[in-house]
Structure 1
Amino acid sequence: MSSLPEIFSPDGPLARAIGGYRVRDQQVDMAERIAAAINSQSVFIAEAGTGTGKTFAYLVPALKSGGKVIVSTGTKTLQDQLFNKDLPMVRDALKAPVKIALLKGRANYVCPYHLERAIVDGRFLTREDAADARRISVFAKVTHTGDKAECLEVSESSPVWNHATSTRENCLGQDCPDYKECFVMLARREAMAADLVVVNHHLFFADVMLRDEGMAELLPACNTVIFDEAHQLPEVATLFFGDSISTAQILDLARDARAEGLTSARDCLDLPEASKRLEKVAKDLRLTVGLDAGRFSYGQLAEKPDFAPAVKALEEEVGAFAALLETQAERAEGLEKCWQRALELQQRLTHWQKIADDGYVRWAEAFSQSLQLNSTPLSVADIFRKQMGGHPRAWIFTSATLAVQGKFHHYCAELGLGEPESACWHSPFDYGKQAMLYAPLGMPEPNSFGYTEAVVDAAFPAVVASGGGAFFLCTSLRAMRRTHELLKERLENGGHEMPLLLQGEGSKNELLERFRRLGNAILVGSQSFWEGVDVRGEALSLVVIDKIPFAPPDDPVLSARIEQMKQQGRNAFIEYQLPRAVINVKQGAGRLIRDESDTGVLMICDPRLLSKPYGRRVWQSLPPMKRTKELKDVLDFFAGRNGHV
């Protein structure tokens, strides 16, 4: 294979194989730095602005390295894009004899055993669910991979998938009658045999902690780990380095044990009754925190008089259920598995009640039908550093948003990376010409009554001037819904023909497809539209951010972290809250300019951008756009673009 400058050159293999390819100095430089880190088995952090071409910048040295490589992405969508599009394109261009594989968590693969059981037991009550089950059943017979992303006839959010896939708890492993045809095992075998495996962050950490998702064997053999969308790692690591138990897991256990009993222990008349009792006690625990969904600190839970007795009652009920299952466990693998699950759930309930470690925070999250009890580490730095120890290998962290004002201190501290080699490559786009940052004057304080109304008032003239093609990125679901209401009213009263879309009215991909196709739509979204969204051209010309996205300070984990940092004499706001908010703003801002011909306005409505000293740190971390506080400049910008000047 040629040298890196040759590969990326105007007449190199990439240029010959890929239409519209152009040489970017940043991309070549980044590829060379990554290749050096792979060769020296060191840690390297790379921030690469939009348009740098960071995917090819890490794929080329990865494919050239000759060792085993794991590439981990932030989302399954990017995972699929890498495996189905980018990787084959680069591999074919380089004529690299490299075997690639895709590995996801077990919940992504059809489990023929559980699907068949669910159909036989008649678990699908609605006509639509029964039809979905039949479609999945047909898919399972013709698919090579069993990956539900390939089953296009059934929505990924269909409740039937819960019955058509396995969990760590209910998988029968080698005792399963369908073990030889198991799609999960097939995916793992292919990953073991491959030179480059594409995974996602959730799978990576679930496996590091649970040793269950097929990577326990992968990691020791691997020479290089590349994390793309690496800004998500601290959040994902926090999720997996903690522990949680949900009433939903207990309801699943009760349901599965009842179904196994009907098949293998019909004469055990106590089992159906005991499973119903268990369901009732689990549901009673959910009700102790009230009907609304939300997060509760341990202090708030302790103030609810029924909560602690209800947890204790559930622990005892799970224990009694385990004892009953033990008497039937020898009759079938399924019953034995249910007994083991019951023992594990009882143990986790006991453990959660006893946690007193300073390094962890206990809290709960209520969903509409379930309650999840969590224990979360206040810092993942030590745990993550330990995971990186042992076998020498290269660790590459890359994203468009890792640095705050060009520095990586915050990120390195969160993951315990020390002071590794790092570099920032700015976007090759001409932001000075292509984009404008607009911070309107006279906005009220972000927490004041009527703030969302003020955002819509300030933004609407810009929406009209841009002719639609706007994203409203809101920092809360409540603000998102109110923004949508107000925009609907404005559009109807003004007789404006601009389609209005709202997060939740369809899957993220469906909404984005409609947004692109319509060309003049307004999309109102919350957290899930701040990142991983690529809309090119005039379909997206205006991005409105309602507030600087600070995490809510009453969040149980955040408030415990703030408290701990205060006790250590540190400034939690400057060291932790502000850097995270800056990275989130950079993600939101990154939606606007996606290629050389894009133009648009980024509007940040939060007055703190102008009034607070830290506002400067926010806008100085953004690409170098023209800046204005005047609406007239925005109107002139759009008029000039639309040829009205």
Structure 2
Amino acid sequence: MDQKFVVVDIETTGNSPKKGERIIQISAVKIENEKIIDQYTTFVNPEILIPPFIEELTGINDHMVMNAPLFEEIAPTLREYLEGYIFVAHNVLFDLPFLQNEFERVGVQPFLGMTIDTVELAKIILPTADSYKLAELAESLSLSHERPHQADSDAIVTAELLLYLLRKAKRLPLVTLEKLADFSIHLKSNIDSLFHNILSEKRNHIEDLPHDIEVYRGIALKKKLNSVKVDHYREKPIYPKTADEKEKIISSYIKSYERRAGQFEMMDIVYDSFQNEKVAIVEAGTGTGKSIGYLLPSIYFAYTKKSPVVISTYTVQLQEQLMRKEIRILSNILPFSFKTVLLKGRNHYLNMFKFEQSLLERDFQYDSLLTKMQILVWLTETVSGDIDELNLSSGGILLWNRIKHNDWHLTKEKNPWVSRDFYLFAKKSALDADIIITNHAMLFTELAQDVKIFPDFSYLVIDEAHHLEHAARQHLSIKLEYIACKFLLSRLGIYEKKQLYFRLEKLVEKHGITVENHVFEIDFMIQELEFALDELFMMFGKFIQSVSKKEQLQPKVKIRLKKDILQGNGWNAVLLGAEQINALMIDVQKGIQERLESLNKESEKLNNKDKAIIEEMYGLMSDFEQLRISIIALLLHPLDHYVYWMEGDKRALPNSIIIQAQPVTVQMQLNEKLFEKMKSVFLTSATLSINQSFHYFKEAVGLNLMSNVIEKQIPSPYDFHKLTKLIIPNDIPEIQQVSLQEYAEVITNHLIGIAQATKGRMLVLFTSYELLRMAHDYMRSSGLLEEFVLIAQGITSGSRTRLTKNFQRFDKSILFGTSSFWEGVDIPGEDLSCLVIVRLPFSPPDDPITEAINEFYKQSGKNSFTAHSLPEAIIRFKQGFGRLIRRSTDKGVVIVFDRRIETTSYGKAFIKSIPAVQMEHGNLSEIIDKIEKWL
């Protein structure tokens, strides 16, 4: 039976009709027989002024609605238009309640029909979408969206989105639809009616599954085809040595190709360093084309030598980009076939056995249900089973932690999903791969563990190499978090009497197994353990309150745990608490381990549901043991040459408390575990050198211990002198000479003037969140930037990626960022034309790691400022500077507020670290004039 839909979108003056906010535009689109048949649109006179932010967002101004009808004039017609249709909106829980409030206000009957939320439906049908915002979904699906945030355009795009989602849902296998229909009864909108309608149609026909889909144990999956390398290239390929040979290969596929001498030079360094088994470091400026620069020679080398090359990156985004873009280009242009796989840690992969059993649970928690539905659809699309493909909510991640791969604890033969296992498939695929793409964290895990995932490899490319030291520290760090401890204990069953631990106990009883510790004893020990952990973290909370200075306004504190603290009397109570926790954990582990081993012996009698419980419990015990090891290393037996600290937010104690330790230096570990194990390593990044030297980088990662390291700087092909102007204001005080509040007021005046000159499109980089917040608040309250959208890290909600995308959506926007925005943010073109660096990016001297490293250098007889603090700040400055020019057609200004860049002897080192640019000075009015002329 055909369902009739009316897709509605409204634009309003704000979010709350109860507080007097009103509709300014409404549009409704009718769909019958899966076709758009009509659209009703009108502006509405809200009888109040439209706020500047809403005008900037929607493009709708007071003049446009001045002569429009009032809502009470259109309400009866609109209500009649909705009658008999399913009400659809993109976030129906906003549009419909707002509309119902307005109907009530003017005395019109509310809408009483069914609803569909296209956000909710898109999450299920498009589980791998990057975003569920309407504009971004429209862009990803190539739906024309001319005027985002105007109701007529939004409504028609939402209607087209609904039709797309319906068509895709109808193509899903019957077994998938049956499960989705069953789960969807518990969703927030009436999506169950859609699925049941599609099911009734589908059951009238015999289903022909697509050739690449199979149904196994009642779940539809995309078939995994073992890719066998087929090579039709009979002659051994010869690496293209000359520039003309390289250009012939690359230009054959890349449109409007421009020869880049630096890229060709990089290719030769990679190939030669592999051939001669050397370590090479190359700093490649923006626009060099470094991904192709190292991939092409790596592929030639791996293919001809029959030896895999591993490519390690820091970010998931770059891994995905390499697979999606550069590898695809090279597979089209090279005259031979090669095989590439992407390898990640075991926890990235779905455990199908655990997932199958989770589907049998009557768990109606919303996030859990939605995630299961997303995974059911995803399984018809994914070959990898890698969580990074999915867009899960934070609640969905909790479910993933239960169904992710840990290891097999029952024998593989008894796991019915072994033949379809994603993790095993990834390992098998890697065996004959030429190129293996991974990340730094996974690389360190592989090098450290006994059970190997990768095939044997001796040739390695490290991209984003400036992160190598940090990644090694993270890998070797030890962490204890209150929230993580509580979550782990909750999985033992201390909060709900029928959670994992008690399900395990029922199995013991069911199979008549006799155990040493009775269930009541273990229950008591778990409760004692939770109480002891709470006590421990309450002590930490009191410690944070007492140590952090009373005058310290910042709520977030970080306290280094030095020897005088760890050996003081006040710490004795912490040690006693830790010893009690360790003893309790050992007893709990013994009790649960005894049950698991006994059940394992009875594995012939276990059904699949029982086995899944045991698998999950083994994974939990592994996490439990890791927690115990962390407590020992952090509290009972601290490690030498590690720096220890505690951090927390004074507004949320003890929930926010984290205790952490990291090695002071990773030189020896990297040298022994990485460089000495490889025949050849090639390291590259855009920011590795300082004053034409790689000394700082080499020392940080242990390459100073090796001889004959090849070093090369390849400058950017862009003409920065023509593209960029560096401006240093001369009317900003030194920050040490005024209070933080005065400094914030001065820079706010400058930022307002600069924003008006650049019309937004401005990224402002801070080193202090407190200063960021003050500047943001002053700018917002000034009343001079009402038509601008201010987006601030830590104030505006959302991830770095989401904040950046929102910044790009608005013509007049300003993005405020701290630490993570200094690098990795890619905003090409006119979206970003002004970069402001508020302070030179020195790490706070009292930061625990900075303080410990500085002590390490002092003990070595070196000046810690010139050996560490200054080089680290220069690298970050280079990274910040690199945000502005991302393409040869970009143009912009960089403004540095920190006068130290000119007033100190070390300031010149910052200017020397960036490409040669035009440099100017001036007061605020002169700066504004220069910017307007330049842009």
Length-normalised TM-score, structure 1 = 0.90
Aligned partners of 1:228 and 1:399 also within 8 Å: yes
Aligned to 2:716: 427
Q: Which of 426, 434, 437 is the aligned partner of 1:198?
A: 437
User: Could you tell me how far 1:558 is from its partner in structure 2?
Assistant: 2.0
Asked if the contact 1:45/1:423 (under 8 Å) is kept, the reply is: yes
Change in Cα spacing, 1:203 to 1:486, as seen in structure 2 (3 Å) is farther
Instruction: State the shift of 1:236 in Å.
Output: 0.9
Matches within 5 A, 1:250-265: 250-258=485-493, 259-265=499-505
| Residue in 2 that maps onto 1:298 | 561
Shift of 1:42: 0.7
| Deviation (angstroms), 1:512 | 2.5
Q: Spell out, residue by residue over 1:239-276, the C-alpha distance to the aligned partner (whole angstroms, 9 max, x if none).
A: 21343444455444433333332323135344444334
How much does 1:637 deviate?
4.3
Task: Give the aligned partner of residue 593 of structure 2.
Answer: 326
CA contact (8 A) 2:407 2:619 kept: yes
Q: Distance in 2 between matches of 1:363 and 1:122?
A: 43
Greater mean alpha carbon deviation, residues 159-168 or residues 319-328: 159-168
Confirm or deny: 8 A CA contact 1:106 1:165 kept in the other structure.
no
**Aligned mate of 2:740, from 449, 459, 464:** 449
Pair 458,341 (structure 1): closer, same or farther in 2 beyond 3 Å: closer
Which residue identity is paired with 1:635? I
Is 1:55 paired with 2:337? Answer: no
Which residue number in structure 1 is paired with residue 578 of structure 2?
Answer: 311
Of residues 346, 355, 368 in structure 1, which corresponds to 2:628? Answer: 346
Please list every run of 5 or more consecutive structure 1 residues that lacks an aligned counterpart in the other structure. Answer: none
Counterpart residue identity of residue 322, structure 1: Q
Moved more, 39-48 or 500-509: 500-509
**Contact 1:530-1:587 at 8 Å conserved across structures:** yes
Task: Using the TM superposition, give the Cα deviation of residue 120 of structure 1 relative to its aligned residue in structure 2, in angstroms.
Answer: 5.6
Residue 399 (structure 1) aligns with: 685
Matches within 5 A, 1:265-304: 265-266=505-506, 268-290=519-541, 294-299=557-562, 302=566
Q: Who is 2:932 aligned against?
A: 639
Moved more, 297-306 or 623-632: 297-306
The Cα shift of 1:383 comes to 1.0
How many Å separate the matches in 2 of 1:131 and 1:122?
Answer: 13
1:331-410 mapped onto 2 (5 Å cutoff)? 331-332=599-600, 333-334=614-615, 335=617, 338-339=620-621, 341-355=623-637, 358-366=640-648, 369=655, 371-389=657-675, 391-410=677-696
Please list the CA deviations of residues 125-156 of structure 1 after superposition, one character each: whole Å capped at 9, or x if unmatched. Answer: 4x34532343234324542211223234x357
Residue range with higher mean Cα deviation, 579-588 or 410-419 = 410-419
How far does residue 497 in structure 1 lie from its aligned partner after superposition?
2.3
1:265 is paired with a residue whose SS is helix
Q: 1:69 aligns with which of 309, 315, 321?
A: 309
- The alignment status of 1:234 with 2:476, answered yes or no, reads no
Match of 2:92 in 1: none
Give distance in 1, aligned partners of 2:503 and 2:404: 18
Counterparts of 1:59 and 1:157, CA distance in 2: 38
Q: Secondary structure at the match of 1:494?
A: coil
Which deviates more from structure 2 when the two are superposed, residues 278-287 or residues 14-23?
278-287
Q: Aligned residue for 1:593? A: 885
CA 1:287–1:208: 2 relative to 1, 3 Å: farther
Deviation at 1:44, TM superposition (A): 0.4
Change (3 A) 1:149 1:12: same
Aligned CA distance change for structure 1 residues 8 and 236 (closer, same or farther; 3 Å)? farther
Q: Could you give the per-residue CA deviations for residues 307-333 of structure 1, whole angstroms, max 9, x where no partner exists?
A: 333323322221232232233232254
Q: How far did residue 104 of structure 1 move?
A: 2.1
Q: Does structure 2 retain, via aligned residues, the 8 Å contact 1:435–1:601?
A: yes
Identity over the aligned pairs, expressed in percent? Answer: 26
Matches of 1:288 and 1:173, distance apart in 2: 44
Equivalent of 2:803, from 502, 505, 511? 511
Counterparts of 2:395 and 2:278, CA distance in 1 = 40
Letter paired with 1:275: I
Q: Measure how far apart 1:71 and its partner are.
A: 0.6
Shift of residue 381, structure 1, vs aligned partner: 0.7
CA change 1:280–1:484 in 2 (3 A) is farther
Greater RCO, 1 or 2 (C-alpha within 8 Å, sep 6+): 1
The whole-number CA distance in structure 2 between the counterparts of 1:124 and 1:285 is 35
**Measured at CA, do residues 206 and 460 of structure 1 come closer, stay the same or move farther in structure 2, by a change above 3 Å?**
farther
Distance 1:483 1:190, change over 3 A: farther
8 Å Cα contact 1:534/1:591 also seen in 2: yes
CA distance in 1, matches of 2:257, 2:241: 14
Between 1:467-476 and 1:628-637, the stretch displaced more is 628-637
Q: Following the alignment from structure 2 to structure 1, what is the Cα–Cα distance between the partners of residues 647 and 244?
A: 49
Moved more, 85-94 or 75-84: 85-94
Q: Distance in 2 between matches of 1:243 and 1:206?
A: 14
Residue of structure 2 in register with 1:86 after alignment: 326
Q: Which piece of structure 1 moves more, 421-430 or 359-368?
A: 359-368
Matched, 1:43 2:283: no
Between 615-624 and 359-368, report the one with greater CA deviation: 359-368
Shift of the 592–437 alpha-carbon distance from structure 1 to 2, 3 Å rule, reads: same
What residue number does 1:622 align with? 914
- How far apart are the structure 1 equivalents of 2:459 and 2:533? 44
Alignment-mate amino acid for residue 205 of structure 1: F
Distance 2:501 2:715 in 1: 61
Q: 1:43, 1:394 within 8 Å by CA — same for their partners in 2?
A: yes
The residue number in structure 2 matching 1:552 is 844
Partner of 1:33 in structure 2? 269
Aligned to 2:816: 524
> Match of 1:289, SS?
helix
Secondary structure in structure 2 of the residue aligned to 1:44: strand
Q: Distance in 1 between matches of 2:656 and 2:358?
A: 22
Deviation at 1:633, TM superposition (A): 5.8
Q: Distance in 1 between matches of 2:374 and 2:417?
A: 19
Instruction: Map 1:453-532 to 2 at 5 A.
Output: 453-490=745-782, 493-503=783-793, 505-532=797-824
- 2:726·2:917 contact (CA, 8 Å) conserved in 1? yes
Residues 1:338 and 1:449: Cα distance change in structure 2 (over 3 Å): closer
In the aligned structure 2, how far is the partner of 1:26 from the partner of 1:385? 29
- Structure 1 residues 208-231: Cα deviation after superposition (integer angstroms, max 9, x where no partner): 33456x54x43xx22321111100
Following superposition, the deviation at residue 172 of structure 1 comes to 6.9
Per-residue Cα deviation, 1:460-504 (whole angstroms, up to 9, x for no partner): 2222111111111121333333332233234xx125522222335
**What is the count of residue pairs matched by the alignment?**
634
Segment of structure 1 superposing worse, 173-182 or 375-384: 173-182
Distance in 1, matches of 2:505 and 2:618, equals 12
The separation in 1 between residues aligned to 2:870 and 2:344, in whole angstroms, is 33
Q: Tell me the equivalent position of 1:602.
A: 894
* SS of the residue 1:479 aligns to: helix
- Other structure's SS at 1:513 match: helix
Q: 1:342 to 1:541 in 2, by over 3 A?
A: closer
Partner SS state of residue 619, structure 1: helix
Using the size of structure 2 for normalisation, the TM-score is 0.63
Partners of 2:481 and 2:658 within 8 A in 1: yes
1:286 Cα deviation (Å)?
2.7
8 A contact 1:244–1:375 mirrored in 2: yes
Shift in Å, 1:568: 2.2
Q: Counterpart of 2:490 in structure 1: which amino acid?
A: R
SS at match of 2:919: strand
Taking a change above 3 Å as real, the CA distance of residues 134 and 281 of structure 1, as seen in their structure-2 partners, is farther
- Checking the alignment, whether the CA contact within 8 Å between 2:368 and 2:395 is kept in structure 1 is no
- 1:538 — aligned with what? 830
Q: Residue 189 and residue 170 in structure 1: after superposition, are their counterparts in 2 closer, same or farther (change >3 A)?
A: closer
In structure 1, the partner of 2:401 is 163
* Alpha-carbon spacing, 1:390–1:3, altered in 2? closer, same or farther (3 Å): closer
In the TM superposition, what whole-angstrom CA distance separates every residue of 1:335-384 from its partner, at most 9, and x where no partner exists?
45555554454344234334455422233344763644433222111111
Residue 528 and residue 118 in structure 1: after superposition, are their counterparts in 2 closer, same or farther (change >3 A)?
A: farther
Report the alpha carbon displacement of residue 623 of structure 1 after superposing the two structures with TM: 1.5
Q: Which residue of 2 aligns with 1:19?
A: 255
Answer whether contact 2:367 2:393 (CA < 8 A) is retained. Answer: no
